[in-house]
Structure 1
Amino acid sequence: MLLVYSHTITPRVRYIFKHLLTRILQIPIDFTSRVEDFVAHNGPKFSYTKVALGKEFFVKSHDLLFQQGVRDVEIHVQRWDRVPCFFLQGAKSDIPFDIFAASFYLISRYEEYLPHIKDHYGRFEAAESIAFKEGFLEKPVVDIWAFKFLAELQKRFPDYQYTKRQYQFISTIDVDNAFAYKHKSFIRTLGGFLKDTYELKIFNLWDRFAVRFNIKKDPFDTFDRIIRLKAEHDVRTVFFFLIGDYTTYDTNVSASKTKFKLLIKDMVDYARVGLHPSFYTMHDLDLLKMEKERLEQITNLPIKRSRQHYLRFSLPDTYQKLIDLEITEDYSMGYASHAGFRASTCTPFYFYDLDFEIQTPLKVFPFAVMDTTLNDYMKLTPKQALGKIRDLKNEVKQVQGVFITLFHNESLSGYLRWRGWSRLYGSMLKIAKRG
């Protein structure tokens, strides 16, 4: 056990120290604010305070972990060796930066509580983040800092037995449109025919006709292939189903359709299933509750996992709503426009509510890359996209973290805007599962 001394043990201190030391570095810890207990401890230990008690291993603390609420924080990013870091504490500290305060700033999403410009969907933009501005969005710097700290700790306490964590991979699939043409209502089908006719999309017209009359398989029905690849590569897979009512932004098959219900039930037999809350649930608890109950009625299981449609969430409001509905895992932490690590970590973490200054039971699983980001936003070719995925996976592998990807069943179809992308998912699994 590692003993940590601090002059005050705040909820923020407990929260971030457990994330860095216990969840990332696998080191059990305890805290004390009593000098005599710290001095008497014979095992590995260090102090986190303003002035060292003596000649112990010492990390000089920034004020952030001893404050309450949100206020403007001055950030000046510098280099720790070649790694970006901030909250420089000077030569008297055994590590030059207060990585605990810096990690808390990033993981709590402190900057998302501060005034910022939202995009046209009401989301916090990647370009507003310190990680993007300072060029470390594609690096899990919190995990990197933790291992740099561990290297210093091992120099001071070489006889202590340190446990290494194992790299993990999770594949997540968003089902925004289970089917391109099949099982849509008569009105939506007719509207689609008329639109394709007006726009002279002859091939779309034929596909629509062929699928409706069972001449061809629906192009977005790629679920058998996903399940086959899951078994072939032994992949932990989570499906998120959009089952909200039809809107401009929510265009899936109606949840009342028997075939759609059977699809969801089938997926429950092979993989984990979660809710994909519709566009307008970001601020609407009643709508979110209705959709959760609807999915639970289909699966006959309690729904504990969630990812917001369009990645549209606002902190802390949306997460507080998920907690109220007893959702325990959220997979929304990432950007639509950019690949990388929104919270600068590749380790799942518990949401810290800055409104109430508490660690909540909601566990956040940050994803690193999404197929639509690579195709629609970054305009990469499939080959370039695979290279980007490999780079991100390698970043995670270096710190033995959790690599999480976000794909859609549509992208495996190779249909319309996904032409040429059908094999990317299988290639990605080979890279992601490789040790």
Structure 2
Amino acid sequence: MSYTRVPLGKEFFIKSHELLFDQGVSDLEINIQKWDDVPCFFNAGAKSSIPFDIFAASFYLISRYEEYLPHVRDVHERFNPEQSLAYKYRFLEKPVVDIWAMKFKEYLLERFPEYEFPDRKFDYISTIDVDNAYAYKYKSFVRSAGGFITDFFRLKLRGLWDRLMVLLRLRKDPYNVFDKILSLSSTHKIKTIFFFLIADYTTFDTNVSASKNKFRLLIKHIADYAMVGLHPSYFTMKNSSMLKKENERLESITNIPTTRSRQHFLRFSLPETYQNLIDLEIEEDYSMGYASHVGFRASTCTPFYFYDLDFEIQTPLKIFPFALMDTTLNDYMGLTPKQSLGRIKDLYKEVIKVQGTFVTLFHNESVSGYLRWRGWQRVYETMLKMIAPLDD
């Protein structure tokens, strides 16, 4: 087998594109073609055993090469998915790198039938972001009073009444569904990770204060039964000292090193944010996805090690791309719970086809089914039954 500009003889030949031999980042001309019915690019010509440079194309998508190029950011300074190759050519909801790899394997088996490939196994990881551990409890007097006044003037009588009942300890806080999530996790035997926002209060970071003992006890309780990760706050995208402070705060609560992370609002900038996580010895990041669209931001459903194009090195930070988020389906796409389950099923099928890793992102708020999440309490449960059906 050879990977070069011209074949040496009659070997299994893949014509190489210059990308993997270059350094730095440049604006590449990309023309989309089809490999059977799958989109691909970096045409390799007739002599190549497959019609495109599968290695360069995979590297381009997984390294997020296009996010290093000049681009317009959204209101939260995030890479806009509508500028991505996957969105423009309508393969965002397909893990094309994994699809290419499976097809490549078939071609190799035809040529080298005696070679044994290791089997891939489907994996599922449920991730829960805890932006607001409680709807009403354990907030400061100023925040609670402000909430009462806001609900009163906006005529939100349901919120006004519920807040009163919860603060008088006559009703459980609606967002406190952690035992339910843990129970479902245990029942369906699924890997679940909780990402806790423990930032100082800002417009975008509105969780209970990490100084509250009840909140700290909740995090410790969760850590006894599931994996816990850091949910770095809105302004940590380029602020390494703030990121370090929040990481130390979580470690002081759990008494274990923090190894997992997901950026709040999915705000990250390549490569700076990931470089800062690596400096803190974070091993896994779960931010790779879009807020406004479901699908595969890096065109893969397989965890991979972040390649830093600035330093031209593979780093020890493992990226776990997620396929969907509850707020994307409900807020950005405006889907009903039933329609959302349909989209979840479609994405799940795509991952099953390539025996990849299916990562979902829900919040305790959506699992509660409270207010704007009415009807969503069953979406999470139904999804788990679909992905991890119980043995009869």
TM-score of the aligned structures, taking structure 2 as reference length: 0.99
Q: Which residue of 2 aligns with 1:373?
A: 328
Matched AA of 1:397: I
Please state if 1:386 is matched with 2:341.
yes
Q: Which residue of 1 aligns with 2:294?
A: 339
Match of 2:206 among 226, 231, 251: 251
Matched AA of 1:191: G
Deviation of 1:425 after TM superposition, in Å, equals 0.5
Please state if 1:433 is matched with 2:376.
no
Give the 3-state SS of the residue equivalent to 2:136 in structure 1: coil
Give the 3-state SS of the residue equivalent to 2:39 in structure 1: strand
Q: Which residue of 2 aligns with 1:324?
A: 279
Match of 2:134 among 174, 179, 186: 179
Kept after mapping to 1: 8 A contact 2:305/2:319: yes
Kept after mapping to 1: 8 A contact 2:188/2:389: no
Please state if 1:119 is matched with 2:74.
yes
Number of aligned residues: 390
Mark the runs of 5 or more structure 1 residues left unpaired by the alignment. Answer: 1-45
Kept after mapping to 1: 8 A contact 2:234/2:265: yes
- What percent identity do the matched residue pairs reach? 68
Match of 2:303 among 328, 335, 348: 348
Match of 1:360 among 315, 325, 337: 315
Q: Note the alpha carbon deviations across 1:214-261, whole angstroms, 9 max, x for none.
A: 111100001010000001100100000000000000000000001100
Matched AA of 2:2: S
Kept after mapping to 2: 8 A contact 1:267/1:273: yes
Deviation of 1:202 after TM superposition, in Å, equals 1.0
Q: Note the alpha carbon deviations across 1:143-201, whole angstroms, 9 max, x for none.
A: 00001111000000111222211000000000000000001011100000011111111
Q: 1:330 to 1:186 in 2, by over 3 A?
A: same
Give the 3-state SS of the residue equivalent to 1:423 in structure 2: helix
Deviation of 1:414 after TM superposition, in Å, equals 1.0
Deviation of 1:433 after TM superposition, in Å, equals 2.2
Deviation of 1:336 after TM superposition, in Å, equals 0.2
Q: Which residue of 2 aligns with 1:160?
A: 115
CA–CA distance in 2 between the matches of 1:365 and 1:434? Answer: 23
Deviation of 1:434 after TM superposition, in Å, equals 5.0
CA–CA distance in 2 between the matches of 1:169 and 1:414? Answer: 23
CA–CA distance in 2 between the matches of 1:358 and 1:163? Answer: 26
Q: Which residue of 1 aligns with 2:61?
A: 106
Kept after mapping to 2: 8 A contact 1:126/1:132: yes
Matched AA of 1:73: L
Matched AA of 1:240: F
Q: Which residue of 2 aligns with 1:211?
A: 166
Q: How does 1:265-280 map to 2 (within 5 A)?
A: 265-280=220-235
Please state if 1:405 is matched with 2:360.
yes
CA–CA distance in 2 between the matches of 1:206 and 1:343? Answer: 45
Q: Which residue of 2 aligns with 1:128?
A: 83
Matched AA of 1:96: P
Deviation of 1:54 after TM superposition, in Å, equals 1.1
CA–CA distance in 2 between the matches of 1:155 and 1:350? Answer: 30
CA–CA distance in 2 between the matches of 1:201 and 1:365? Answer: 39
CA–CA distance in 2 between the matches of 1:143 and 1:52? Answer: 26
Please state if 1:75 is matched with 2:30.
yes
Matched AA of 1:371: D
Deviation of 1:55 after TM superposition, in Å, equals 1.0
CA–CA distance in 2 between the matches of 1:71 and 1:352? Answer: 16
Matched AA of 2:265: Y
CA–CA distance in 2 between the matches of 1:145 and 1:182? Answer: 50
Deviation of 1:78 after TM superposition, in Å, equals 1.0
Match of 2:237 among 282, 286, 290: 282
Structure 1 window deviating more from structure 2 (48-57 vs 291-300): it is: 48-57
TM-score of the aligned structures, taking structure 1 as reference length: 0.89
Give the 3-state SS of the residue equivalent to 1:170 in structure 2: strand
CA–CA distance in 2 between the matches of 1:153 and 1:433? Answer: 33
4+ aligned runs moved over 4 Å, structure 1: none
Deviation of 1:420 after TM superposition, in Å, equals 1.2
CA–CA distance in 2 between the matches of 1:66 and 1:149? Answer: 22
Kept after mapping to 2: 8 A contact 1:330/1:362: yes
Matched AA of 1:330: D
Q: Note the alpha carbon deviations across 1:388-420, whole angstroms, 9 max, x for none.
A: 000001000000000000000000111111011
Kept after mapping to 2: 8 A contact 1:403/1:432: no
Matched AA of 1:340: G
Q: Note the alpha carbon deviations across 1:200-221, whole angstroms, 9 max, x for none.
A: 1111110000000111110000
